[in-house]
């Protein structure tokens, strides 16, 4: 499979039976790659299920990166996160 742009910041690089490789272009122009379980990824992306239900163990910063493309530094500024304790 060739890379498919599915959101302005998210591209699917490859889909295997159990895992999907995606690239995120962050708000600062960096590329972050994720290998995600295929079923939860498509439950979130195609079936519009809540991301926290699809990826309950994923850190909140990574979920926000998937949703918006906002990198970690911009998330700290936007949400006022100073450390991990404040995010829970």
Positions of the chain with pLDDT lower than 50, given as ranges: 1, 86
Structure confidence at residue 84 (pLDDT):
56
Structure confidence at residue 83 (pLDDT):
57
Structure confidence at residue 47 (pLDDT):
94
CB atoms < 10 A from the CB of 12, how many? Answer: 20
- At residue 74, φ and ψ (nearest 5 deg) are -65, -35
Structure confidence at residue 2 (pLDDT):
58
Is 59 in a helix, a strand, or coil?
coil
pTM of the complete model beyond 0.85:
no
């Amino acid at each position: 499979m060739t890379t498919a742009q599915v959101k302005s910041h998210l591209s699917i690089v490859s889909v295997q039976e159990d895992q999907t490789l995606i690239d995120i272009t962050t708000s600062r122009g960096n590329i972050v790659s994720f290998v995600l379980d295929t079923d939860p990824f498509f439950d979130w992306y195609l079936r519009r299920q809540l991301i926290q239900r699809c990826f309950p163990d994923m850190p909140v910063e990574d979920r926000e990166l998937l949703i918006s493309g906002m990198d970690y530094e911009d998330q700290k500024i936007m949400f006022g996160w100073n450390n991990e304790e404040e995010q829970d």
